[in-house]
Structure 1
Amino acid sequence: MKITKNLDLTSYNSYKIKASCKVAYFPESEEDIVSFFTLNKDFILLGSGHNIIFSKDYYEKPMLLFNGNFNQVEVEDDVLEIEAGAMMWDVAQLALEVGLSGVEIFYDIPSSLGGAIVMNAGASGEEIKDVLVKVRYLDLADLQIKEIFKEEMSFEYRNSFFQRNTDKIVLKAWLKLQKKGKTEIREKMELLKTQRWAKQPKDFPNAGSVFKRPSGYYVGALIDELHMKGFTIGGAKISEKHGGFIINFNNASGSDILEIIEEVKRRVYNLHQVKLEVEQRVI
């Protein structure tokens, strides 16, 4: 287990918010993870950092990070066995190399395997649950390692068994894919990437879609209706390219981003009586 004191977290969150923590742990095995939770009951768990907002500039609590570690992927026939720290764009690239289809949507979605399962990540009508077989996890209630099949997880839009049970820590997952030609797989990956880049603000730090899609509405359209594109607080603003994104254009703090979120929620509710739900995790 790698342990780092006074870790600068700026590069560990996609908003590039400046923050640090007293001590960070980077596990390399299941034994490391069990050991961490045996010794720490009050902690912060951080994956790839692509769907989070740091609300503070310093964290006293120990952090367990899955970022460039605990990220092995094994292939057996048409099944991928993936550790929680693996980046999904790396998984998509490996699947392409071995001629397996089913994770092309993750080619340009920044997420670790663990985070993707917790959030039931996806795009273009596809979600990780579509290819998931089972998950291996650590149950903090008794510090036992267990496995659960997809059918038992009650997946919903951007929600899962693991989001509802935060004392269950994803360790590994098995994805069942389909054999296809590499050319066909690559073409789909590039098409999805091109479509995403045309719509999303890739030139400033951001953490993807801020809000879950409310029933009967599109967040981007609601922002357009409120004329809030470009709305700014501090160093953060709503992207002019896509209203569903907040960007860090000038050394934004977490509080800048959170203040914009609250203002958007207030205005949307006043106009349509719709309560927007934040997709990103506030730490």
Structure 2
Amino acid sequence: MRVYNNFDLVNYNSYRVNSKCKKAYFPESEEDVVALYKSTKDFVLLGSGHNTILSKPYYNTSFLVFNGNFNAVAINESENVISAEAGASILEVSETAEKHNLTGVEFYYDIPSSVGGAVVMNAGTKEGETKNILKKVRYLDLTDMLVKEKVNEELGFEYRNSMFQKQNDKIILKAWFQLTQGNRLEIRKIMDESKARRWSKQPREYPNSGSVFKRPPGKFVGPMLDELGLKGFTIGGAQISKKHSGFIVNVDNATGNDILSVIDHVKTKVKEVFNIDLEVEQRII
């Protein structure tokens, strides 16, 4: 396990906000994770840093980071199941599936997230959601410090939500994905087409953390903000993307406070005009 003092988090959050933490731990195994939480529960858990807003320039606390570590991916070919530790990227899950002619997880390709983060928020696109392929999850329950497992039906999946988002005393350790046999060429075609669609619409040229707000029933966030004339609205270095209004991008050394100020402005305007309370999809730390 690697441990760093006064750790720079700029490359560990996709907004590329300048932020540091007092100490950062990079566990390599389930045993490492359990041992750390037995020593103290005072950790901020950070996965791949996507779908996350670091609101402070400095955190006087310890971070537990799953990013480039605790990331083993394995396959059970006889059952068409892929297992992955919480720090693995869902990109690797999708590419492992493709190599073994397994279909069902193509929508994960090019979605920036760790496995743990994807389960927590039921990550997905219009092509599919995590709940459609997740078989079971292994997690550490901080209430009694026991490692437990739950199957899909027990995880309370909703649109961009799960029991893990509502109960932050449970730390995901590993996930199993149930897939089916497919044709590798067709799988690759779906993956490439899905990536091309996202790149054509999303502002990949600037640091961002994906869609900022959950889609309210019967509405789309981007068109609402366009109607309000908010495309390009900027506070400090944070800007509502000129390419897709559902995204906030870091155009000039944005701080976490810049991003949150843009969010507050958007929520106020949408409430005034549409009487809708937008819900932030991203995790604010």
Residues 52, 192 of structure 1: alpha-carbon distance in 2 compared, 3 angstrom cutoff: same
For residue 109 of structure 1, the aligned residue among 83, 89, 111 is 111
Q: Distance in 2 between matches of 1:31 and 1:153?
A: 24
> 1:183 corresponds to which residue?
185
1:165-176 aligned at under 5 Å gives the runs 165-176=167-178
1:155 counterpart letter in structure 2: F
Stretches (4+) displaced over 6 A: none
2:42 counterpart letter in structure 1: D
> 1:71 corresponds to which residue?
71
For residue 157 of structure 1, the aligned residue among 156, 159, 166 is 159
Q: Distance in 2 between matches of 1:17 and 1:105?
A: 28
> 1:42 corresponds to which residue?
42
1:137 counterpart letter in structure 2: Y
For residue 251 of structure 1, the aligned residue among 225, 228, 253 is 253
Q: Distance in 2 between matches of 1:195 and 1:276?
A: 25
Cα shift at 1:149: 0.6
For residue 94 of structure 2, the aligned residue among 89, 92, 99 is 92
Q: Distance in 1 between matches of 2:121 and 2:127?
A: 15
Cα shift at 1:125: 4.0
Q: Aligned to 1:60, what secondary structure does the other structure show?
A: strand
Report if aligned partners of 2:107, 2:127 keep a CA contact under 8 Å in 1. no
The C-alpha deviation readout for 1:89-136, integer Å capped at 9, x for no partner, is: 111111111111111111110000000000000001410110111100
Q: Could you tell me the TM-score, scaled by structure 2's length?
A: 0.98
> 1:26 corresponds to which residue?
26
The C-alpha deviation readout for 1:63-85, integer Å capped at 9, x for no partner, is: 10000000001101210011000
Q: Distance in 1 between matches of 2:41 and 2:172?
A: 17
Q: Distance in 1 between matches of 2:150 and 2:162?
A: 12
> 2:242 corresponds to which residue?
240
Cα shift at 1:41: 2.1
The C-alpha deviation readout for 1:200-235, integer Å capped at 9, x for no partner, is: 001000000000001111000111110100000001
Q: Aligned to 2:210, what secondary structure does the other structure show?
A: coil
Q: Distance in 1 between matches of 2:69 and 2:41?
A: 22
Report if aligned partners of 2:27, 2:33 keep a CA contact under 8 Å in 1. yes
Structure 2, unaligned runs of 5 or more: none
Sequence identity percentage: 55
1:206-225 aligned at under 5 Å gives the runs 206-225=208-227
Report if aligned partners of 2:86, 2:174 keep a CA contact under 8 Å in 1. yes
Structure 1, unaligned runs of 5 or more: none
Q: Could you tell me the TM-score, scaled by structure 1's length?
A: 0.99
